[in-house]
């Protein structure tokens, strides 16, 4: 089937509007904004090496991590695109110390949605031409419409998400999202700037043959994770599994959805609370994984049931093929 005969992202969203329990034109406008920002960032990523956009920005973000130039650029693009379209009342970004409250032209904002995002996941890989991505999460605000948003609007459990997705900037640019009715992927045709449905009804197998973890941190991992890794490496049945770790969350998750596998970023002596952020990374990825038929937990509990206590909260993360995650949880429970 040619790209011209496939459904565009815009057409798909309109056709599936009834799947969204808060069906309104706002969702279409919100996704149009994300789609536009993704195309702008994709273009800039593809210019890496040709323009002065790679390397460190020279500042650290709220997590104490060195910001890359593309981190700052992508953050500004997504924030400004969302603000300019006047479709959200608040934005939370991994790159910002605090959330952004957005006022309407009359000083009030009647919009219902907030967006939480990691504007450029894996940005340190851009210097070596490895795939990077954007992760986003959409909630309905819980405070009264027309009043300024508060932290309460952002500190919601993942199960309250109304939509989530990621964009992967790789050999092609893809946007993958869910509104709670399955997962669908769209590939950008850069010649005409349009996303086409390329991966309908994405699903992850119950079992897989890939485990993704930074084994360089093995000595710092809890015993349950060490034992699970040894299980993955043992010759028995369909094991040993293949080890594949890119170090770009979106890329590792995307591969495992398509091929079946588990991704682990546990606690460690160096990261006692884990490294990944609950609101910007774990909740949206967990929503996608669950909608694709997989499972996501912190090793003991479902990720989307965790009550957030702070904007930049970190948690351990185990997600992927259902049976693989449950086996990892077994090893964690044995070593509590």
pLDDT at 58: 45
Binding residues: 94, 118, 120-124, 214, 245, 263-265, 275, 281
Q: Each residue of 280-308: pLDDT tens digit?
A: 999 999 999 999 999 999 999 999 999 99
Mean pLDDT of 258-275: 95
DSSP string, 62-95: TTSPEEEHHHHHHHHHHHHHHHHTT--SEEEETT
pLDDT at 1: 44
Q: Each residue of 240-259: pLDDT tens digit?
A: 999 999 999 999 999 999 99
Helix, strand, coil percentages in the chain from 3-state DSSP, rounded to 5: 35, 25, 40
pLDDT at 55: 46
Q: Each residue of 17-68: pLDDT tens digit?
A: 776 666 567 778 888 999 999 999 998 887 755 444 444 444 555 555 556 6
pLDDT at 336: 78
pLDDT at 21: 63
Q: Each residue of 199-216: pLDDT tens digit?
A: 999 999 999 999 999 999
The enclosing H or E element of 9 equals helix 9-15
Binding residues for Mg(2+): 94, 118, 120-121, 281
Partners of residue 166 on adjacent β-strands: 135, 176
**More confident: 238 or 122:** 238
Partners of residue 302 on adjacent β-strands: 297
pLDDT at 106: 60
What's 277's DSSP letter? B
Q: Each residue of 58-117: pLDDT tens digit?
A: 455 555 555 667 888 899 999 999 998 888 999 999 999 999 999 866 656 788 899 999
Q: Each residue of 121-179: pLDDT tens digit?
A: 987 777 777 889 999 999 999 999 888 999 999 999 999 999 999 999 988 999 999 99
Residue 262's SS3 state is strand
pLDDT at 39: 95
Mean pLDDT of 217-231: 96
The residue whose two tokens read 């702070």 is 310
- HSE toward the beta carbon, residue 172, CA cutoff 13 A: 17
Q: Which of 190, 244, 159, 198 is nearest to 40 (CA)?
A: 190
Task: Domains for the chain: give ranges and CATH numbers.
Answer: 3-202 (3.30.540.10), 210-334 (3.40.190.80)
pLDDT at 66: 54
pLDDT at 122: 83
**More confident: 190 or 107:** 190
Classify strands 163-169 and 132-140 as parallel, antiparallel or unpaired.
antiparallel
Mean pLDDT of 310-321: 97
> CA-CA distance, 42 to 69, in Å (whole number)?
14
Binding residues for substrate: 121-124, 214, 245, 263-265, 275
């Amino acid at each position: 089937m040619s790209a011209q005969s496939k459904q565009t992202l815009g057409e798909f969203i309109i056709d599936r509007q009834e799947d969204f329990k808060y069906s309104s034109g706002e969702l279409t406008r919100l996704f149009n904004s994300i789609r536009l920002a993704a195309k702008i960032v994709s273009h800039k990523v593809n210019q890496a090496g040709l323009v002065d956009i790679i390397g460190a920005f020279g500042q650290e973000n709220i997590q104490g991590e060195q910001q890359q130039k593309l981190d700052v650029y992508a953050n500004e693009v997504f924030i400004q695109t969302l603000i300019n379209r006047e479709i959200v009342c608040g934005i939370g970004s991994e790159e910002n110390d605090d959330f952004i409250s957005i006022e309407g032209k009359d000083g009030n904002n009647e919009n219902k949605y907030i967006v939480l995002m990691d504007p450029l996941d894996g940005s340190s890989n851009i210097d070596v031409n490895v795939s990077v991505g954007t992760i986003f999460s959409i909630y309905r605000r819980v405070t009264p419409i027309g009043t300024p948003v508060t932290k309460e609007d952002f500190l919601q459990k993942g199960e309250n998400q109304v939509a989530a997705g990621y964009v992967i900037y790789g050999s092609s640019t893809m946007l993958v999202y869910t509104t709670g009715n399955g997962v669908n992927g769209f590939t950008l045709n850069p010649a005409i700037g349009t996303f086409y449905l390329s991966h309908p009804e994405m699903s992850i197998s119950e079992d897989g043959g890939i485990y993704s973890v930074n084994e360089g941190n093995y000595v710092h991992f809890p015993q349950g994770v060490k034992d699970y890794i040894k299980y993955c490496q043992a010759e028995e049945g369909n094991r040993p599994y293949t080890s594949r770790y890119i170090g770009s969350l979106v890329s590792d998750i995307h591969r495992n959805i398509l091929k079946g596998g588990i991704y682990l970023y546990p606690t460690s002596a160096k990261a006692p609370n884990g490294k990944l952020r609950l609101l910007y990374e774990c909740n949206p990825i967990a929503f996608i994984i669950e909608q694709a038929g997989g499972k996501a937990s912190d090793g003991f509990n479902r990720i989307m049931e965790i009550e957030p206590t702070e904007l930049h909260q970190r948690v351990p993360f185990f997600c992927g093929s259902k049976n693989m995650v449950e086996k990892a949880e077994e090893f964690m429970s044995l070593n509590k």
